[in-house]
Amino acid sequence: MEQLSYFLAATVRMAIPLLIAALGLSVAERAGMMNIGAEGIMLMGAFAGYTAARLLGSYWLGAVVAMIVGVLFTGIFAVLAISCRTQQVVVGAAINMLGAGVTSVLYRKLFYQVGTGISGMMVESFPSIPIPLLSSIPVLGPMLFNHNALVYVGYFLVAAVWFIMYRTSLGLKIIACGEHPKAADSLGINVIKMRYMTTLASGALLGLAGAYLSIAQTNAFGEDMTGGKGFIAMAVVILGKWTPLGITAGAVLFGGANALQMSVQNWGVAIPNNIIMMIPYVATVVAVVAVSKKRVGAPSAQGVPYIKS
């Protein structure tokens, strides 16, 4: 029972960064963007969040700075992909390499000292805030309502994205820009502006998702600490068929795979660690292959620059 409870709570903790990143990506993708630079942007967010939390002494400021850095860094992608109409996949790949390089160099230059040990590198991170009453429900309580504040932000974002996409005129415009940009333009919708807005918003969420890794889930930065989570978030978007609820389910599935990996390691089963650590990645491949047979739900104009005659 305790192990189950631990597993479920870990599932949620592991799912949240994927959820926040995937929600952001889904909005930009529905407007017609294909940002494979998610990994690099998350890494920048993780580093910026850690740096700000350490220098300013506040994890909240860390989260805010991570979002700002996410927006700025995504801005590079946005300008190149939207205004310069560069191949989105190429720019995205460059963003990933840039993110990995910049964070490594700055981290070593600013913080890393031989012999300090990990303890010297730690910052104060988002503490768990049990929600009164709700957190005392058996199983569900610890699973959903005994987490750090960013987990609750994640819950809120699911509802917010759902509301915007399906209940507002803004949502209709975003979908129109991704499905049939020329039609959107013919109705006076500024496709370029919509794509900038959604892409930059996704940058903020990617930055936040990155900060979650360094100042909520752990309390230190590590080189390449995203470990492919940006790519997994992209898979979650596909798995969730670009809908907020589908993405939530997808994030929980991958969070579960991660939690399972940790649990299996804890149980001390006699399987080589390397094999166990493959679980989330294998799950990604299997899940994406399973749904990609029918790529329903993919925005028709995804990754195609809009060129006005």
Q: Which residues bind another protein (CB under 8 A)?
A: 167-170, 172-173, 175-176, 179-180, 182-189, 300, 308-309
50 vs 242, which CB is nearer to another protein?
242
245 vs 286, which CB is nearer to another protein?
245
146 contacts 135 by C-beta, under 8 angstroms: yes
187 vs 269, which CB is nearer to another protein?
187
301 contacts 181 by C-beta, under 8 angstroms: yes
Q: At what angle do helices 38-56 and 229-239 cross, to 10 degrees?
A: 130
Residue partners of 115: CB distance under 8 A and separation at least 6: none
Tell me the two tokens of residue 28. 């930009």
109 vs 295, which CB is nearer to another protein?
295
183 vs 271, which CB is nearer to another protein?
183
- Nearest-approach distance from CB 82 to another protein, in angstroms: 18
Helix, strand, or coil here: 249?
A: helix
- Nearest-approach distance from CB 99 to another protein, in angstroms: 33
134 contacts 75 by C-beta, under 8 angstroms: no
> Alpha-carbon dihedral of residues 33, 37, 42, 47, nearest 10 degrees?
-140
- Nearest-approach distance from CB 28 to another protein, in angstroms: 17
CB count in 10 Å sphere of residue 287 = 19
115 vs 188, which CB is nearer to another protein?
188
- Nearest-approach distance from CB 300 to another protein, in angstroms: 8
- Nearest-approach distance from CB 200 to another protein, in angstroms: 19
- Nearest-approach distance from CB 184 to another protein, in angstroms: 7
Sign of the CA dihedral running 110, 60, 161, 170: negative
Instruction: List strand residue ranges (DSSP E) for 237-283, in order.
Output: none
CB count in 10 Å sphere of residue 62 = 28
